């Protein structure tokens, strides 16, 4: 089954404790992206990647890191999480030829206390 | 800059029609629409690439007027399954960065 998977789905952590949210897709998509969703603000892009080893900032990259060492994986790293990073996070992927037809993962709900 | 969606929320009875608008202060090269049902991930509906282009997806269609820098999503004879939040998205000039509107919450009641 074609899908984007994220782990963990739910996470409660404390300020300053480094964490990684994994994202993996099995569709051989070149483009991958991370979004955060907050009430009233919609989906805001954090980082995106056009292909392996090619990443760039979205609209809200502060406090996040990403890497793309393999085509199928695109982990999101929070080196020192803060309460304002409490949010619902989505990973998405798409073919480079149909960039805007993105397939979203199920989401990761992160709470930082 | 985030596109502006209107209305923010709408309540319909089954069978009624609705229009959701998406406008931008910057030039639009494409507009894409997604629907997110409660507790689920967003799902792609359609993309519009040319001025004045219209597309359809079941009884949901959309138009894109690049001169007016706006797109409209038309939901005809709404069904209970149409309930959810609708997002329009646009691309930056280079095309790789995606910017979504804040969303329009649609609730269809029986």
| Residue ranges, chain B, pLDDT below 50 | none
| Residue ranges, chain A, pLDDT below 50 | none
For chain B, list residues whose CB is within 8 angstroms of any CB belonging to chain A: 2, 30, 32, 40-44, 47, 87, 89, 91, 95-103
Residue A14 three-state SS: coil
pLDDT digits (tens, 9 = 90+) for B71-96: 999 999 999 999 999 999 987 666 68
Q: How far is B95 from chain A (nearest CA, A)?
A: 8
Q: How far is A14 from chain B (nearest CA, A)?
A: 25
Instruction: Report pLDDT for B66.
Output: 80
């Amino acid at each position: 089954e074609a899908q984007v998977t994220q782990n963990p789905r739910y996470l409660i952590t404390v300020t300053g404790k480094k964490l990684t949210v994994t994202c993996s897709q099995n569709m051989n998509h070149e483009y991958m992206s991370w979004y955060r969703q907050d009430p009233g603000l919609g989906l805001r892009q954090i980082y995106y990647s056009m292909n392996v080893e090619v990443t760039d900032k979205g609209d809200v990259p502060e406090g996040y890191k990403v890497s793309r060492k393999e085509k199928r994986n695109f982990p999101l790293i929070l080196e020192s999480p803060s309460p304002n990073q409490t949010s619902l996070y989505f990973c998405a992927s798409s073919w480079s030829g149909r960039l805007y037809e993105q397939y979203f993962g199920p989401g990761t709900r992160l709470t930082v206390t | 800059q985030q596109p502006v969606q209107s209305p923010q929320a709408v309540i319909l009875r089954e069978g009624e029609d609705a229009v959701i608008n998406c406008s931008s202060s910057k030039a639009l090269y494409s507009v894409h629409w997604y629907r997110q049902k409660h507790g689920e991930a967003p799902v792609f509906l359609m993309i519009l690439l040319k001025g004045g282009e219209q597309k359809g997806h079941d009884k949901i269609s959309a138009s894109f007027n690049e001169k007016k820098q706006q797109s409209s999503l038309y939901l005809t004879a709404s069904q209970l399954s149409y309930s959810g939040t609708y997002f329009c998205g646009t691309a930056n000039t280079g095309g790789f960065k995606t910017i979504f509107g804040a969303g329009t919450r649609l609730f269809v009641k029986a």
